[in-house]
Amino acid sequence: ERAGIDAGGTLIKVAIQKRQGWHFQSFSIRQVDECLAWLNERAAPLSLRITGGKADMVQDKLNRQDKASVPEFLASCNGARHLLALDGQSQLTDFILTNVGTGTSINLIRGETQEWVGGTGVGGGTLVGLSGLLTNVYDYSKLIQLAAQGHRDSVDLTVSRIYGNGTPPIPGDLTASNFGAVSSKAAVPPSADQVASVIGLVAETVTALSVMAAQKAGVDTVVYIGSSFVENPKLKKSVTRYSRQWGLTPIILRDGSFCGAVGAALSN
């Protein structure tokens, strides 16, 4: 069995390739020991490769530096190609790969090549951190639950609200100003609305950059990965909608959180 670990800023993702297919598991980055114990308990001896910003920290704990860590973008791009092929999308060769992890990185994939073309510090860490500061809820699942009842219109200003009865030069439902509808302490929106709007801010920031990258490269598909999409229908919906408004085909890859771990495993 081949296995890969992707240790990122927030989560450790593990992918194990079995005869029946991939087995996935994730842990908090604070649970490195639990993660390694879990791996040790597995029967078959594992051939293991590690990637991610915290790969070296995990290597040190493993005490086996026989294999070098796999470069993060190489791993995530290879993993994405592999998972796309498993999804019956091997015809897709040229696309933008946007990884919304703790932070967001954008790679251009053309055939067998990949190139980092940019990113933004706005990502899943922003979702948790900014929402936490605003609402005092710092737990990811609780934030997602909270956002489910939230409405962005008490927080964000759309183009059509600025134009009123006038005709806007761009689609009126676009966000003109994230958090721009909040103008006085007298009318602080409910927590649920605040979190929904933070998710909107993350969605629109990562999508806008992905769109620019796709246009510059002349590709028409953006593949979105990273754990920020896990159980997060609001992020998925906004990213999908906004990408389509720009004429791009968005793919939010199933098991896309595990691209890095899959790519690392495949480097064995």
Give the C-alpha separation, 231 to 160, whole Å.
30
Phi-psi domain of 222 (left: phi exceeds 0; alpha: psi -120 through 50; beta: other) = beta
Q: How far apart are CA 35 and CA 257, in angstroms?
A: 16
User: What is the footprint of ligand ATP within residues 3-32 (CB under 6 A)?
Assistant: 8-11
Residue 146 or 157 with smaller CB distance to ligand ATP: 146
The residue from 72, 112, 115, 204 that is catalytic is 72
Active site residue 72: yes
**In the complex with ligand ATP, which residue's Cβ is closer, 176 or 230?**
230
Among 2, 50, 95, 101, binds ligand ATP (CB under 6 A): 101
Among 4, 125, 150, 263, binds ligand ATP (CB under 6 A): 125
Residue 124 partner contact from ligand ATP, Mg ion, none using kind-dependent CB cut-offs of 5 to 8 Å: ligand ATP
Rounded to 10 deg, the angle between the 191-217 and 140-148 helix axes is 100
257 binds, among Mg ion, ligand ATP, none (CB under 5 to 8 A by kind): ligand ATP
| Contact indicator for 4, 48 with CB cutoff of 8 Å | yes
E strands present in the chain: 2-7, 11-18, 21-28, 47-51, 94-100, 104-110, 113-120, 157-158, 175-177, 221-225, 249-252
For ligand ATP, the closer of residues 158 and 197 by Cβ is 197
- The rounded distance, in Å, linking the Cα atoms of 209 and 215 is 10
- Asked if 150 interacts with ligand ATP (CB under 6 A), we say no
Q: Do 32 and 78 contact (CB within 8 A), yes or no?
A: no
Would you count residue 103 as binding ligand ATP (CB under 6 A)? yes
> Which residues are at the interface with ligand ATP (CB under 6 A)?
8-11, 52-53, 101-103, 124-125, 127-128, 140, 226-228, 230, 257
Residues with active-site annotation: 72
